[in-house]
Amino acid sequence: MNVKKIKLADIDQRIDGRIRPVDESHAAIIAQAFDERGQETAIVVRYGSGGEDAPKYILVSGAHRLRAAELVGWDSIDASITKLNADEARLQEIDENLIRQELDILSRARCLYERKELYLKLHPETKHGVNRFSRDATVATLKFATDASIKMGVSERTVHGYIALYKNLQPETVKILQSTVLADDRQELLYVGSIQEPVLQVATVKEAIFKGKKPSELREAPIQLSGEALWLQVGKKEASRVLKMEVPARRVFLDELVKAGVISRDQIVEAA
């Protein structure tokens, strides 16, 4: 990648879709360093589509540095220009965030969930059920969970656990939880994910934050259902959702629900 000075006005920051929102206080610290020592590490950008109204460059990594340059009053910044496409660039952004220790549980789960989708798109030969020994398969490419676990320095089971956690959260729920203390509370995130109805899940999180409570503290007393048919209906509905998960993710998710006290181990045995 070549490094050159480019104008801030020519860069599309893609702020709304970034994994980590820009922290103004952190950007201010970097701005002070820029003012004292100048820029030591270039940001990374990729070329835009080249359309008439399209941005000349799109930010890949370095959102805090870019914001710092704005705070200092610079009109240009050192940038490395990569030839990565949109999916490859997003994968790079995710990987850079995954190695950060300060990333909260929700953000890490989101990173891994999105990384899996991108990884399978870029490496379809690693998808479960694909014949990896076919003529078109790239056997040297690691399956997603293995690749992610190596990069993060964790077990494949941990990777599956994060993905299962995020998969059960509504997009609106994620937006509400970001940058709150609940974003780093695994037990509460699992509880929220166990609320199957989308509207109820979002409403529960909103009410909890408004009241300054944890979502699980708003849990109502168990509904007294009468009749075996009604119990079967509820059981089948919940079981169908869980059974749609891949086996490793399903096993980890159920174990996490037991640890969080949402369900009991006996319920898993009975539903098996």
Report, as an integer, the average pLDDT of 259-272.
Answer: 58
More confident residue, 28 or 230: 28
Tell me what pLDDT residue 237 has.
Answer: 52
Band the pLDDT of 125: cuts 50, 70, 90: confident
Global confidence as pTM: 0.62
Tell me what pLDDT residue 22 has.
Answer: 83
More confident residue, 124 or 184: 184
Tell me what pLDDT residue 264 has.
Answer: 65
Tell me what pLDDT residue 233 has.
Answer: 44
Report, as an integer, the average pLDDT of 39-63.
Answer: 85
Tell me what pLDDT residue 228 has.
Answer: 45
Mean pLDDT, the chain, integer: 80
Maximum average pLDDT range among 28-32, 60-64, 104-108, 153-157? 28-32
Per-residue pLDDT tens digits for 234-252: 455 555 566 666 767 767 7
SS3 of the chain: the string is CEEEEEEHHHEECCCCCCCCCCCHHHHHHHHHHHHHHCCCCCEEEEECCCCCCCCCEEEEECHHHHHHHHHHCCCEEEEEEECCCHHHHHHHHHHHHHCCCCCCHHHHHHHHHHHHHHHHHHCHHHCCCCCCCCCCCCCCCCCHHHHHHHHHCCCHHHHHHHHHHHHCCCHHHHHHHCCCHHHHCHHHHHHHHCCCCHHHHHHHHHHHHHHCCCHHHHCCCCCCCCCHHHHHHHHHHHHHHHHCCCHHHHHHHHHHHHHHCCCCHHHHHHHC
Tell me what pLDDT residue 231 has.
Answer: 40
Tell me what pLDDT residue 14 has.
Answer: 74
Report, as an integer, the average pLDDT of 181-198.
Answer: 93
Per-residue pLDDT tens digits for 72-104: 999 999 999 998 888 888 888 888 777 776 789
Per-residue pLDDT tens digits for 199-235: 899 999 999 999 999 999 987 644 333 444 444 444 5
Tell me what pLDDT residue 230 has.
Answer: 40
